[in-house]
Structure 1
Amino acid sequence: MDAPYVLVLYYSRHGKTAEMAQQIARGVEASGMEARLRTVPEVSPDTQASQPEVPADGAVYCTLDDLKSCSGLILGSPTRFGNMAAPLKYFIDSTSALWLTGALIDKPAGAFTSTSSLHGGHESTLMTMMLPLLHHGMIYAGIPYSEGGLINTTGGGSPYGAGHHSGQNGDKPLSKDEIALCRAQGGRIASLAAKLGDKTC
């Protein structure tokens, strides 16, 4: 049997969501569990026909087996009009077979997001990612207010999940509080996955 792992699955257009994913993975691994970073391909008019099977750099593309076998899931996307980005939604829409078999029931899950404007739909984007996870029977866990960064942040981050305010040009680095919240979220999902281990793969 493979070692348990938390799947950090994200789509990143300009790199900020990918940076968050890396910080979340650090939080997972600091808790003693493996973090598996995966992404999804772009969606184009000819869908995946023009996409290489393996990305040129960064994380590899997620498979349904990656998702099925995870012990926990943290889903990330930039904000697109207050919603998750189309490539991530396209992938999630392909998971009906896992829904039919109940493969993800009772596994812990969370979500994270990045946006260029401070009030650009952080929380509604997290909620759009939350909904399919609930349909899969997953146990959604946000970030508790015991995390000091949640009170102190002047950028991203909410009780619904980690966030980043990248600025209009996308050049703002992750703040100290945003990094702390990413790591805290990764650690929390890993801890819950360990406690719920009898139910996972």
Structure 2
Amino acid sequence: MAHPYVLILYYSRHGSLTAMAKEMARGVEQVSGIEARLRTVPAVSSNSEATEPAIPAEGAVYCTEEDLRHCSGLLLGSPTRFGNMAAAMKYFLDSTSSLWLSGALIDKPAGTFTSTSSLHGGQETTLLTMALPLLHHGMIWAGIPYSNAELSSTTDGGTPYGASHLAGIKGNNQLSSTEARLCRVQGERIARLALKLM
């Protein structure tokens, strides 16, 4: 059997979700016996002739259906677009009906993470709405428990629904130490749950 992994699937326009995904991978890899696999999705365009290269110029490679099918756990990340996930992530998830039909993701743990330009820019609604297709797939959605004291004291990102980041209006805020820690905590939690549920 192949080595178990947590798929960290994200879409990033300005680098915040990439930074969060890397911190989550650090958390996953704190757990013995499982590894992190970073993947992204291509941008979408209303121009039907627009195409993306088969391999991105930089960063994680594009996710395949097989990456998703064989994961032991999933962390799904997207920036907020009007309180919901970005179209690129929704487009990818909409293409996973064969996994739904086969039940390939049933009983696998999943979590969500996001970034916004403003503090109340829809972080929690994005985390919740990203969970909906995962619940339809039969996944077990897990957030961040309040046993992590940072949730009670954070003045930037971090929610019980999943890790979050306040990127700022220009999108150039670095992850705070609290945000980075909560990303690692969430990665570690999904990794531990994945091993327990295998």
Correspondences of 1:1-201 after superposition (within 5 Å): 1-32=1-32, 33-46=34-47, 50-197=51-198
Query: 1:47 and 1:65, CA in 2 relative to 1: closer, same or farther beyond 3 A?
Result: farther
Query: 1:47 and 1:103, CA in 2 relative to 1: closer, same or farther beyond 3 A?
Result: farther
Q: Percent identity?
A: 68
Contact persistence 1:143–1:160 (CA under 8 A): yes
Question: Per-residue CA shift, 1:90-126, capped at 9, x if unaligned?
Answer: 0000000000000000000000000000000000000
Normalised TM-score (structure 1): 0.96
- In 1, the alpha carbon distance for the partners of 2:177 and 2:194 equals 26
Normalised TM-score (structure 2): 0.97
- In 2, the alpha carbon distance for the partners of 1:166 and 1:41 equals 21
Query: 1:128 and 1:95, CA in 2 relative to 1: closer, same or farther beyond 3 A?
Result: same
Q: What amino acid is the match of 1:78? A: P
Contact persistence 1:6–1:71 (CA under 8 A): yes
CA RMSD between the two structures: 1.0
How far the C-alpha of 1:49 sits from its partner, in A, is 5.1
Which structure 2 residue ranges, 5 or more long, are not aligned? none
- In 2, the alpha carbon distance for the partners of 1:177 and 1:47 equals 41
Contact persistence 1:42–1:48 (CA under 8 A): no
Which structure 1 residue ranges, 5 or more long, are not aligned? none
Aligned-partner SS, 2:81: coil
Aligned-partner SS, 2:21: helix
